[in-house]
Structure 1
Amino acid sequence: MQDLTLVMAQLDPLVGDIAGNTAAAIEAVREAKLEHDADVVVFSELYLTGYPPEDLLLREAMEPRLAEALTEMAQKIAKFAPQTLVVMGYPGLRDGQRYNLAGVLLGGEWRGEYAKQALPNYQVFDEDRYFEPGTQPLVIEHAGARLGILICEDLWDGAPVRQSAQAGADILVTLNASPFHLDKPAERERLFATRAREVSRPVVYVNAIGGQDELVFDGGSLVLDAQGEVAVRAPFWLAGLMPVRFVAADGDWRPEPGEREALPESEENLYCALVTGLRDYVNKSGFKGVVMGLSGGIDSALSLAIAVDALGADRVHAVMMPYHYTAEISRADAAEQAQLLGVGYEVMPIAPMVEAFAATLADSFSGLGADTTEENLQSRVRGVLLMAISNKKGLMVQTTGNKSEMAVGYATLYGDMVGGYNALKDVYKTWVYRLARWRNTQSAAIPERVITRPPSAELAPDQQDSDSLPGYDVLDAILERYIEGDMSAEAIIAAGYDRDDVYKVVKLVDRNEYKRRQAPVGVRVTLRGFGRDRRYPIVNGWQPGN
């Protein structure tokens, strides 16, 4: 009986750090050989550059650096694992054209390259900008098995899968950089099972892990048998090496059942995505930690818990900045949460600064009544204080606005929008509450009163969010249809929503594109985040309707 041990290298490369990624890959092959006696080690898509490298691909130095990396891998791996086949993802110029490649290394030589055929150009993907599509399959025989090499979208497209099977592949091996969004793991598995059954071949899916700007990769690498059943599923949100043993019987290769991580519940999966995105953004950017405003409200409370889980309490600093309208329970709840999570905490009253600004502006504002200008002034003073702490202490300002607020412009430019990263940027308010409740099931993190009290910006007397917005259940339902579903206002009304509410919301969304364009980057966790995959003109004459 023939057998083959394949190791899925589910790792977290740093975009642009070709030397560092190469060194990590060499060590991963060494570990796979020592710990698992690997016959094959498979890495993720574009591993050597990290994904997505974007316009770094256009740098003249890219190709020589990649050539140096490939030579280093060949020389070093040949010394300790000459019989181990390594499948590695990287870009490359070939005959003047750039391709998304998977190279096959064995015995100190690169034995072949496969060029990705299906290039995604939707949502966050922009591969047509950089790559030419390949046309030919690549099937490599090793240890008696014929491995058909594929890259990510090839599996979703389907045609390259059938082509590889027709070329004689026994096992389909795919290198992937598949970004997370809600319900994506189950969506992937349904599709991959369909592909496996279509061609009656096992499928190996090796995914990246970690955060890269607004994208986050959840891992969950897996192997399905020829009937589409999951044989091995690697952990989500955890880097590492996952082995799977294939055995040949009656000419067919099948994976032996191994570790099968359970699919996470939605709240847990989403929370882990936010923690991963923030952690990698802060750490990969070289910040000492984060500083953030802690208001006593639900958004900052959840943001604080995420920051502590991502970085540790010793790297998180919270600041309460009360004004005349800050409720006593907000002060008490903020202090309680800071103590509960063990973060650095201080109180900085802003009344003297706000009043100084108001006095300076008094002549200019003469004859004009109070309005949101005075509310925004409070927020901007807070932003100045947080940025000063950031500059002085090397801490990144973490902003705390949720997707519902960002959508309708319920935020202040150069105020509460000031900062470097926002974990909640793509999280609707209703999900903020769900995540807060879920987080408290793991350990006490957010005071119960913060979750149950009505939300308020506390910028005016007795202010509540519901004074100027529909209830969040209604608001989020409208926003999801308008933003993710691209439904017209009339179609949303036909779905059962109040006409006045719908037109108010869609007009606010359209009018506040200029704000969102100036907002910090944040983790993308829905099908349509405010970032790479939603591009609307700021200045335009479009009117909402049909």
Structure 2
Amino acid sequence: MTDRLIIALAQLNPTLGAIKANLDRAREARREAWDADLILFPELFICGYPPEDLVLRSSFVTACRDAVEELARETISGPAVLMGLPWREGANLYNSVALLANGRIEAVRHKFDLPNYGVFDEKRVFNAGPAPGPIAFKGVRLGVPICEDIWTEETCETLAETGAEILLSPNGSPFERNKDDVRLNLVVARVTETGLPMAYLNQVGGQDELVFDGASFVLNADRTLAWQMPMFEEQIALTEWRREEDGWRCVPGEIVAVPENEAETWKACVLGLRDYVLKNRFPGVVLGLSGGIDSAVVAAMAVDALGADRVHCVMLPYAYTSKDSLVDAEECAKLLGVRYDVVPIKEPVEGFLHALRPMFEGTPAGITEENLQSRSRGVILMAISNKFGAMVLTTGNKSEMSVGYATLYGDMNGGYNPIKDVYKTEVYRLAEWRNSLGHVIPQRIITKAPTAELRENQKDQDSLPPYDVLDTILEGLVENELPVEQIIKNTGYDEALVRRIQHMLYIAEYKRRQAAPGVKITRRNFGRDRRYPITNAFRDGR
């Protein structure tokens, strides 16, 4: 029995499916934490999280097991390891944690409470394990509740009742705004109920739409915060634990301030974009820089994520592109220090119009002709991507994607969209926040009326309500799933307007199904969180 433990918390960024690379990173982390008794890794670290249907491949599960057994053999010396992996027993497949010590796998515990809501569908691929008991390590009984196991009372209560002395919780908890407060309150509840201290370890990094923000922490049994690790950054924290008269206590260590509001949203978007580009091995990104707020914010995020030398901005002007937009786009590119090219689209647009003239003759010009401009831009950006390898970034915000204010195979072209889950009103706040760190977005881009510039004197508010009104309605419809009648009562907005926005939201589902992935920021992003049918005749009160 020992009265002192050094437990390393490895807040790291795995790459999903890169089993050997994740194993090598685990080895590196052990070397960095060589003086620790034990090192804790995030949920399913050896394969990355969430592995989704990859775990249905027997070869994938076998490769994970082989890698963990290889690491276990190395624990004859140095710190022991708590490593997450998919674990098969007979016909059952579990989301598990293994204790690696003394050259072997000494114990395995399985996740008991499988999440099946929002972005999670673990019941699709995993079996729920039995209620876990503590793991004996150096005479200390360690409870290891895995992620969702701490979101309900049962697992932690069972561990406390069966003699656990310290709770170590490996997590793969995706970012959404203000979720760090939710997690802290959750752990406070578990600590209060059990009377045990808890180390909450979360993964960091981007995985497709999801961003894992880290923000790991340790809470003592008296509910005092002993450690707070950073958000959106890798870190290995060596936490010291001592046995006292009333139980184990973590010696207070570093308390890092975590970002809030626009700062955390910006950092989440940047991390998600960076990891999507780098983990998929793109050399850089290319995007259309229109002189508008959305593309300027995305360009700034791309520079923060990848560096100016890996960002290529292209202005694609047509007859309706204003002189202000040309000036603003060029200034923005100069402030960001990126490569900037101008490719006029007059010839391709007129080529399409010429080819279609016999069929379109006698019909009035309208949205079809406007969309040809957007689609010409999309073709050119994709050609640049094909020629030079950079991935196209698309720049539509959540407000536009909600109501279908976007052109398929045009401005929706692209491999990734960092602001896909950011409403338009927040895009403006993000621009102001980023400029407070250093002026990179011209002020006129922030203050001028938003426009797609697809016809003379066009403004977004020709067909949409003001964005503060639109976003309030959308928050009710999308984030809170409120009935139309409740939104009208809450806001006082015109009933016809609210119903029109609901109709636009529903009929744009087919576009969203074809949209590029983008960073999850809100509680209900399109795709993983909010799964509505394309064919949908339902309307509230109808």
Q: Tell me the TM-score range normalised by the shorter chain.
A: over 0.9
What does residue 132 of structure 1 align with? 127
Aligned to 1:276, which of 265, 271, 275? 271
Deviations 1:313-355 (A, max 9, x none): 0000000001111111111010001011110100011111111
SS at match of 2:411: coil
Q: Given the alignment, which residue of 312, 316, 334 partners 1:317?
A: 312
Match of 1:423 in 2: 418
- Aligned equivalent of 2:185: 190
Q: Does 1:372 align with 2:384?
A: no
* Aligned-residue offset at 1:248: 1.1
2:453 to 458, 472, 479: 458
Please give the secondary structure, in 2, of the residue aligned with 1:128: helix
Q: Which residue of 1 aligns with 2:287?
A: 292
Q: What's 2:31 paired with?
A: 30
The secondary structure found in structure 1 opposite 2:325 is helix
Q: Give me the whole-angstrom Cα distance separating, in 2, the residues matched to 1:513 and 1:545.
A: 20
Q: Structure 2: which amino acid aligns with 1:31?
A: E
> What's 1:73 paired with?
71
How far 1:289 sits from its partner (Å)? 0.3
Q: How far apart are 1:66 and its partner, in Å?
A: 1.9
- Displacement after TM superposition at 1:144 (Å): 4.0
How far apart, CA to CA, are the structure 2 residues paired with 1:432 and 1:138? 47
Residue 540 in structure 1 maps to residue 536 in structure 2: yes
Which residue of the partner structure matches residue 94 of structure 2? Answer: 99
SS of 1:310's equivalent in the other structure is: helix
In 2, are the aligned partners of 1:401 and 1:422 still within 8 Å (CA)? yes
Question: 1:109 pairs with 104, 107, 125, which one?
Answer: 104
Note the residue ranges of structure 1 that are not aligned, 5 or more in a row: none
The equivalent of 1:471 in structure 2 is 466
- The amino acid that maps onto 2:187 is F
Residue 432 of structure 2 corresponds to which residue in structure 1? 437
Of 308, 331, 338, the residue aligned with 2:333 is 338
1:41 paired to 2:42: no
| Cα-to-partner distance string for 1:176-223 (whole Å, 9 max, x where unaligned) | 000000111111111111211111110111100000000000001110
Q: Does 1:177 align with 2:179?
A: no
Please give the per-residue CA displacement for 1:84-129, whole angstroms capped at 9, x wherever unaligned. 2211111111121011101111111111111101110000000010
Distance 1:451 1:278 in 2: 23
Q: Partners of 2:60 and 2:348 in 1: how far apart? A: 50
Correspondence for 1:56: 54
Aligned to 1:11: 12
Aligned length, in residue pairs: 540
TM-score when normalising by structure 1: 0.97
Give deviations 1:496-518, integer Å, cap 9, x for gaps. Answer: 22212101110000000000000
Following the alignment from structure 1 to structure 2, what is the Cα–Cα distance between the partners of residues 67 and 193?
A: 34
Which amino acid letter does the alignment assign opposite residue 363 of structure 2?
L
Structure 2 contact 396–411 (Cα < 8 Å) conserved: yes
Q: Which residue of 1 aligns with 2:195?
A: 200
1:225 partnered with 2:225 = no
Q: Give the AA of the match of 2:42.
A: S
Alignment of structure 1 residues 130-169 onto 2, 5 Å: 130-169=125-164
Contact 1:207 1:220 in 2 (8 A): yes
Q: 1:263, CA displacement in angstroms?
A: 2.5
The aligned counterpart of 1:401 is 396
**In structure 2, what residue type is equivalent to 1:527?**
R
CA distance, structure 2, for counterparts of residue 317 and residue 8 of structure 1: 38
Partner Cα distance (1:71, 1:181) in 2: 35
Is the 2:269–2:301 contact (alpha carbons within 8 Å) kept by the matching residues of 1? yes
Answer whether contact 1:430 1:473 (CA < 8 A) is retained. yes
RMSD of equivalent CA atoms: 1.1
Deviations 1:257-290 (A, max 9, x none): 1001112121110100000000000000110000
Which residue is 1:2 aligned to? Answer: 3
| TM-aligned CA deviation for residue 251 of structure 1 | 4.5
- The 8 Å contact of residues 5 and 39 in structure 1, kept in 2 or not, is answered as yes
CA distance in 1, matches of 2:456, 2:264: 38
Q: How many angstroms apart in 2 are the aligned matches of 1:484 and 1:333?
A: 34
- Stretches of structure 2 that go unaligned for 5 or more consecutive residues are none
Moved more, 355-364 or 206-215: 355-364
Q: Which runs of 4+ in 1 moved over 6 A?
A: none
Indicate conservation of the 8 Å contact 1:2/1:144, yes or no. no
Aligned-partner SS, 2:340: strand
Amino acid at match of 1:389: I
Is 1:410 aligned to 2:405, yes or no? yes
Alpha-carbon displacement from aligned partner over 1:374-416 (angstroms, at most 9, x marks no partner):
1100000000000000000000000000000000000000000
The residue number in structure 2 matching 1:518 is 514
Q: Distance in 2 between matches of 1:117 and 1:177?
A: 15
Paired with 1:275 and 1:283, the residues of 2 have a C-alpha distance of 12
